[in-house]
């Protein structure tokens, strides 16, 4: 991949220069409290290296989906505080994206300081389908900087103003996080060490269908968990009660099972409940014996054991999507068991961002036990599907 990198920019010299960094700081919040700061910590090295080299660092990022207007619920204020704690320096938050406060703070910056612009998605032009509108915002962002560093891997699959268009206005460089993510994922699409085991969970088959179809010819074993498993169980002819089910995809799941029966493994047993609640009555039943009116919310212990056996013999493991509703204690054992099996294995292991990465931290598993924990769920999947990532492609264009 021919792109200019952070190392190239640092070699050119950044002391006193203004550098705009697109980071992925889209962290989960409980009110104004960050519940998982993994993405802030992942963004830190690039920001710190630039600041330590004397650059005037301006960070653009988003949080949630505020629909193009200012909304305090989606303010980056808690992120600015946490980023400052990790940097050991004050991070000033502009109260707008490209308005008067942003202009004032960036114009007064000293070398080595960091300014965080307010949620870039507060400006509707960020996600506009209009090339002209996005280009307009990109031009305004470019006024704050002499160079652009793309370091938000979680958004490089988006053709958005602060990801794609600004790289066409400023000299553009790939940040360390983006390069590391691409390096790891390329190992999964090249010649991975075998056996190659993929664990897919999450709620919907429709969300993962493209990556399933792209990976099946390449993997040795595909383990299916999460809500999406019930569509596969229905394709096997099982009654799934009130479990999450995508009826329109049953035929597709049946076709995949017929064509790849030697590779696809679905749950043998499931944890069921009378309601979607941590206080509901629960039971563990065979996958073909889900009671009418009950819903499956986790894989069962026999399935965890079967999945762990496949993982233990693997040389490469990719995991995306929880095995159950891990946020509720009665339904966390499946995800914990799968994650623990991956952590205990000797395989080159990649956790594919999103809820899987959150689960590792929420369940208190040691992050160093995994070879790589991605910051970009959607971006990781689209890369593995073979799709072009606009935020990466534009860096190659400008190299």
DSSP-assigned states of every residue in 297-324: EEE-HHHHHHHHHHHHT-SEEEEES-SS
Whether residue 232 lies inside any domain: the answer is yes
Whether residue 185 lies inside any domain: the answer is no
Cβ burial, residue 46 (10 Å; 0-12/13-18/19+): buried
Q: Is 381 left (phi over 0), alpha (psi -120 to 50) or beta?
A: alpha
Which pLDDT tens digit goes with each residue over 286-313? 999 999 999 999 999 999 999 999 999 9
User: Is 353's pLDDT higher than 80?
Assistant: no
Whether residue 397 lies inside any domain: the answer is no
Peptide bond between residue 361 and the one before it cis (omega within 30 degrees of 0): no
CATH of the domain at 54: 3.40.50.1260
Residues 13 and 57 in one domain: yes
What SS3 state is found at 204?
coil
Residues 336 and 201 in one domain: yes
Is 296 annotated in some ligand binding site?
A: yes
Residues 166 and 230 in one domain: no
Whether residue 161 lies inside any domain: the answer is yes
User: Is 57's pLDDT higher than 90?
Assistant: yes
Is 158 annotated in some ligand binding site?
A: yes
Domain boundary among the residues 180, 210, 231 is at 180
Nearest to 20 by CA among 237, 203, 236, 171: 171
User: Is 377's pLDDT higher than 90?
Assistant: no
Q: Which residues have a Cβ under 8 Å from the Cβ of 191 and sit 6 or more positions away?
A: none
Please give the residue range of the domain that contains residue 80: 6-180
Q: What is the mean pLDDT of residues 185-207?
A: 93
Residues 166 and 204 in one domain: no
Give the phi and the psi of residue 240 in degrees, each rounded to 5. -105, 15
- The whole model's pTM is what? 0.90
Residues 173 and 196 in one domain: no
Is 65 annotated in some ligand binding site?
A: yes
Whether residue 319 lies inside any domain: the answer is yes
- Would you place residue 100 in the very low, low, confident or very high pLDDT band (cuts 50, 70, 90)? very high
- Would you place residue 89 in the very low, low, confident or very high pLDDT band (cuts 50, 70, 90)? very high
Residues 221 and 102 in one domain: no
Which pLDDT tens digit goes with each residue over 18-51? 999 999 999 999 999 998 898 999 999 999 999 9
Residues 161 and 201 in one domain: no
Domain boundary among the residues 180, 203, 225 is at 180
Count of structural domains within the chain: 2
- pLDDT score for 39: 93
Is 121 annotated in some ligand binding site?
A: yes
Q: Which sequence positions are flagged as catalytic? A: 39, 204, 354, 378
Higher pLDDT, 202 or 130: 130
CA distance 93 to 102: 8
Quick count: other Cβ atoms within 10 Å of Cβ 148? 28
Is 24 annotated in some ligand binding site?
A: yes
Which pLDDT tens digit goes with each residue over 229-257? 999 999 999 999 999 999 999 999 999 99
Whether residue 236 lies inside any domain: the answer is yes
Q: Is 32 left (phi over 0), alpha (psi -120 to 50) or beta?
A: alpha
User: Is 194's pLDDT higher than 90?
Assistant: yes
Q: What is the mean pLDDT of residues 125-144?
A: 98
Residues 19 and 152 in one domain: yes
| Cα atoms found within 13 Å of the Cα of residue 196, Cβ hemisphere only | 16
Whether residue 186 lies inside any domain: the answer is no
Alpha helices (H) along the chain: 6-12, 38-52, 77-87, 100-107, 131-142, 176-189, 205-215, 229-235, 250-259, 301-312, 333-344, 354-362, 377-385, 390-398
Whether residue 389 lies inside any domain: the answer is no
User: Is 333's pLDDT higher than 70?
Assistant: yes
């Amino acid at each position: 991949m021919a792109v200019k990198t952070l190392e190239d920019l640092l070699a050119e010299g950044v002391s006193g220069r203004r550098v705009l960094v697109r980071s992925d700081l889209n962290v989960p919040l409980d009110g104004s409290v960050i519940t998982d700061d993994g993405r802030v910590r992942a963004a830190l090295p690039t920001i710190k290296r630039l600041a330590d080299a004397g650059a005037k660092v301006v960070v653009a990022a988003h949080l949630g989906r505020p629909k193009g207007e200012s909304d305090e619920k989606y303010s980056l204020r808690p992120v600015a505080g946490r980023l400052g704690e990790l940097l050991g320096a004050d991070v000033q938050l502009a109260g707008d994206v490209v308005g008067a406060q942003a202009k004032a703070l960036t114009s007064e910056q000293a070398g080595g300081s960091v300014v965080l612009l307010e949620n870039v998605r507060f400006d509707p032009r960020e996600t506009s389908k209009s090339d002209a509108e996005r280009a307009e915002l990109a031009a305004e962002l470019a006024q704050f900087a002499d160079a652009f560093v793309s370091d938000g891997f979680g958004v490089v699959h988006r053709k958005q103003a602060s990801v794609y268009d600004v790289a066409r206005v400023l000299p553009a460089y790939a940040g360390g996080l983006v390069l590391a993510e691409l390096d790891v994922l390329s190992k999964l699409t090249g010649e991975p060490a075998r056996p190659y085991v993929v664990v897919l969970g999450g709620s919907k088959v429709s969300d993962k269908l493209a990556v399933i179809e792209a990976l099946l010819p390449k993997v040795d074993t595909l383990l299916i968990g999460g809500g999406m498993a019930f569509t596969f169980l229905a394709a096997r002819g099982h009654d799934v009660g009130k479990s999450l089910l995508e009826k329109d995809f049953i035929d597709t799941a049946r076709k995949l099972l017929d064509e790849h029966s030697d590779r696809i493994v679905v749950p043998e047993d499931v944890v069921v409940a009378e309601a979607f609640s941590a206080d509901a009555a629960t039971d563990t039943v065979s996958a073909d014996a889900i009671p009418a009116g009950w819903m499956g919310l986790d894989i069962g212990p026999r399935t965890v054991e079967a999945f762990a056996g496949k993982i233990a013999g693997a040389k490469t493991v990719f995991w995306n999507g929880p095995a159950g509703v891990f946020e509720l204690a009665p339904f966390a054992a499946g995800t914990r068991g799968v994650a623990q099996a991956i952590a205990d294995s000797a395989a080159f292991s990649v956790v594919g961002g999103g809820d899987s990465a959150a689960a590792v931290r929420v369940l208190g598993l040691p992050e160093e036990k995994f070879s790589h924990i991605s910051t970009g769920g959607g971006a990781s999947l689209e890369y593995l599907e073979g799709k072009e990532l606009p935020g990466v492609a534009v860096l190659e264009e400008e190299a």
